[in-house]
Amino acid sequence: MWNIAILVFTVLLCSPSIASSNRIISRLLLPSPVTGPESLAFDPADDGPYTGGSDGRIFKYVGPSDGFVEFAFSSPDRNKTICDGISDFSEIQKTCGRPLGLAFNYQTGELYIADAYLGLLKVNSDGGSPTQVVSCVEGKSFRFLAGLDIDPQSGVVYFTEASSTYQIRDLKTLLGNGDNSGSLIKFDPSTMETSVLLRDLAVPSGVAVSKDGSYVLVSEFMANRVLRFWLKGDKQNTPEIFLQLPGRPDNIKRNSAGEFWVAMNNPIGSPPPSRSPVLPLAVRVDGNGYVLQEVALVEEYGTAMVSEVQEFNGKLYAASLDVSYANVFMP
């Protein structure tokens, strides 16, 4: 049963005073021809960002002169000669890997990876080759993992399977047809147990655990909404609607104040809407689902999807599956 606590999206979205995105500080380019930095992560020393690319490698940004350098890869069987430089939706991406969600365990320094094809993996703080953590749940191999977050205190891992029917190479079909075979999954490294928290989700792309670990948010891209699943307290183990949105929500990222940034997009293939809000847009919301800030991204991204916006040390970082760089801008 749904615990209906709909927190209606505020009138802020209709206000004309949306900040524009022409505050770009820098553009962090992936090594050509790699594309698609879908999500970003910073390590326990605040270095990075790290991101996954179309050819299965994970890159670390080391500064303006060297840019993004190879740090790790997500396929244990990856052949560098064949894989380096391949593009998204290539047939061999299945064996080369396609890292999407990334998050560090702040106690161990390990980087966890939600790979679209290969499941949940991790690499140690030196990078290099990965170790498989989970490849299936309830006896079924993962088909399309996407979002990932880790509770900063407990190290518990939350991740999403966007679809158990389609793979990332069928993304266009998936988004054209709709699908509700996705799920929100939990992996506890202290017990090595994996459990499904929510199923039958409409393309759950992003996930973020609250600062106090009492709930986890999951976006349903095709349902234009964000759900909250309670992990503790009176409503433990129940979901509710956290945000109903006028666009498609992708990744969700917590900031240091415990608020969340949600990247919101137009439905694929649809003409840009004629009225406000102009998408793509990043919204900052508090733990009650109230919108605190909006940042328009249309100038910078046009019709490209913005996969993620996150706030780190006073700056905003935007990532996209459709371009070959991450943008850094003023909040």
Site residues for ligand NAG per CB under 6 A: 79, 81-82
Q: Map tokens 């006073």 to a residue.
A: 314
Name the residue nearer to ligand NAG (CB basis): 129 or 293. 129
Bridge partners (DSSP) of residue 228 are 217, 240
Name the residue nearer to ligand NAG (CB basis): 81 or 237. 81
Name the residue nearer to ligand NAG (CB basis): 78 or 254. 78
Kindly state the helix (H) or strand (E) to which residue 263 belongs, with its residue range: strand 260-265
Smallest distance from the beta carbon of 178 to ligand NAG, in angstroms?
39
Distance CA 125, CA 319 (A): 23
Give the three-state DSSP class for 14: helix
Per DSSP bridges, beta strands 215-220 and 225-230 are antiparallel
Name the residue nearer to ligand NAG (CB basis): 82 or 257. 82
Per DSSP bridges, beta strands 248-254 and 50-52 are unpaired
Smallest distance from the beta carbon of 274 to ligand NAG, in angstroms?
51
Distance CA 50, CA 42 (A): 6
Name the residue nearer to ligand NAG (CB basis): 77 or 299. 77
* DSSP 8-state code for residue 331: -
Bridge partners (DSSP) of residue 148 are 159
Smallest distance from the beta carbon of 87 to ligand NAG, in angstroms?
18
Smallest distance from the beta carbon of 86 to ligand NAG, in angstroms?
13
Sheet holding 182-188, edge to edge: 145-150, 157-161, 182-188, 193-201
The distance in angstroms from the start CA to the end CA of the chain is 38
Smallest distance from the beta carbon of 82 to ligand NAG, in angstroms?
5
Distance CA 71, CA 52 (A): 10
Name the residue nearer to ligand NAG (CB basis): 79 or 236. 79
Smallest distance from the beta carbon of 312 to ligand NAG, in angstroms?
37
